[in-house]
Amino acid sequence: MSMFFNNKRIVITGGDGFLGRHLQEKLRSRGIHPSQVLIPLIKDYDLTKEADVVRMYETMRPDIVIHLAAQVGGIGANRENPGRFFYANMAMGLHLIEQARIRNLQKFVQVGTICAYPKFTPVPFKEEDLWNGYPEETNAPYGIAKKSLLVMLQGYRQQYGLNGIYLLPVNLYGPGDNFSPASSHVIPALIKKCADAVDRGDDAIECWGTGRASREFIYAADAAEGILLAAEQYNGAEPVNIGAGFEITIKQLAEKIARLTGFKGRICWDASKPDGQPRRCLDTSRAEEYFGFKAKTDFDAGLKATIDWYRENLL
């Protein structure tokens, strides 16, 4: 077990969110005392404002910052909030990285987004293809804002010696996910549709798009482990994918979730709604080579755990 986090003050922005809670659990399993892990809550710090970021650094005095906080959602939320998503994600990263430089932070870990990749990236996505085209239009403002932080970290490394790394996790899922119809991603949205339909006795559900688009998903606890391994072992300028290395169409996913929830009705596709990026699947060889990360959770087992959590906590 790495000793990297021992006696360090670790700030996790977005640490009270879905992925953040899994990161906290992984740190506890490494023997890190909760007093070392500091979470700037939204009610106390608006990280889009420079003054609040300065106050956060002065109050929490971190050695390491893991920047998870983001304003994000599914296709619908991205279409409705392109300006807000660009500004908020750009501003948070800009202020956090600049203050890391000023304070000579030991390490800054930027968690980026798969939405940064070009719309028609060859599958599987390799990190060297990140700049070979424009992102899928519905999530481009969000993706470009997050991708610009990679350039900022590389520039700050070159000019100021800031040790900032950049990670590209694929779509997350797992217990504790966001199931809000207004902002959830595809797995929690489908689980909610199917489980609610079973509960109500409905004989059909409606899904966006054609079902032909493909996605890759990683269990949130696995993603958290990948992020911590990178923080412990990786100190390079190159971006690194964090994924599970498989691809499934949305139609196949909906059918799988229907089966696992016991929904036996019809799945109706609304082709007037967008599919988003046509395909997503990552090449994960760099993460395995650089810091020994490989996702472990079986997809069906992870889906079952997520469905069980939803039924026990939200249904």
What number of H helices and E strands is found in the chain? 10, 12
Say how many C-beta atoms besides its own lie within 10 A of residue 247's C-beta: 16
Active site residue 142: yes
Whose tokens are 């470009």? That residue is 144
Q: Where are the beta strands (DSSP E) in the chain?
A: 10-13, 37-38, 64-67, 107-111, 164-169, 171-173, 204-208, 214-215, 217-219, 240-242, 248-249, 266-270
DSSP per-residue string spanning 207-261: EES-S--EE-EEEHHHHHHHHHHHHHH---SS-EEE-----EEHHHHHHHHHHHH
Q: Which of 45, 57, 142, 310 is catalytic?
A: 142
The alpha carbon of residue 303 and the mean position of all alpha carbons in its chain are separated, in whole angstroms, by 17
| Nearest-angstrom CA–CA distance, 192 and 184 | 10
Find out whether 59 and 32 touch, Cβ atoms under 8 Å: no
| Nearest-angstrom CA–CA distance, 165 and 312 | 37
| Nearest-angstrom CA–CA distance, 212 and 262 | 23
| Nearest-angstrom CA–CA distance, 304 and 285 | 27
> Dihedral of CA 16/18/24/27: which sign?
negative
The alpha carbon of residue 183 and the mean position of all alpha carbons in its chain are separated, in whole angstroms, by 14
> What are phi and psi for residue 169, nearest 5 degrees?
-75, 145
Whose tokens are 């994924």? That residue is 243
Find out whether 105 and 64 touch, Cβ atoms under 8 Å: yes
Q: Which residues are catalytic?
A: 142
